[in-house]
Structure 1
Amino acid sequence: MAITPNVGGLDKTLRIIAGIALIAFAVLASVDNVWKIVAGLVGAVMLITAMVGFCPLNSLLGINTRRHEA
């Protein structure tokens, strides 16, 4: 089973920015540890999906933000 990339362009850039921001929040914010863990995990998932170029949730919802090459 091949994984078809479905994250591209602006989506990838926004995921990287949001992922870094969430991880920074998890490290620097003075909130409950639960929120730090949640923010850190969500941030890490966003960075991973941006780097890999595939998002399982996008796939389930039928969303593809990557341009198709001709």
Structure 2
Amino acid sequence: MFNNVGTTDRLLRLVAAAVLLYLGLQTYAGSALGIGLDVVGGLALLTSLIGSCALYGLLGLNTRKSNQSLP
């Protein structure tokens, strides 16, 4: 799998995932908005942990530097 998400991008996705999951599971629990926030937060968490984003691949984006080591 090709890693195309850089370290800063991964950190921002991790923070955004935490916020979205908190809002989805606590503030808007049980509503359609809460479920949507959980799905988006889960995807952000997954791409942050894996280091690869399918949307970036489709758009030809790459935020990972070529000399950046893999975790």
Specify if TM > 0.5.
Answer: yes
Counterpart in the other structure of 1:4: 2
How high is the TM-score relative to the length of structure 1?
0.89
- Give unmatched runs, 5+ long, in structure 1: none
Aligned-pair identity in percent equals: 32
Post-superposition shift, 1:36?
0.4
- Give unmatched runs, 5+ long, in structure 2: none
Q: Distance in 2 between matches of 1:62 and 1:35?
A: 30
Distance 1:30 1:43, change over 3 A: closer
Counterpart in the other structure of 1:67: 65
Q: Distance in 2 between matches of 1:69 and 1:37?
A: 38
Counterpart in the other structure of 1:35: 33
Map 1:9-28 → 2, pairs under 5 A: 9-28=7-26
What is the CA deviation profile of residues 26-69 of structure 1, one whole-angstrom value per residue up to 9, with x for unaligned ones?
A: 11214761100000010000000010000000000111000102
Could you list the structure 1 runs, at least 4 aligned residues long, displaced by more than 2 angstroms after superposition.
none
Q: Distance in 1 between matches of 2:31 and 2:41?
A: 15
Number of aligned positions between the proteins: 68
Q: Distance in 1 between matches of 2:15 and 2:21?
A: 10
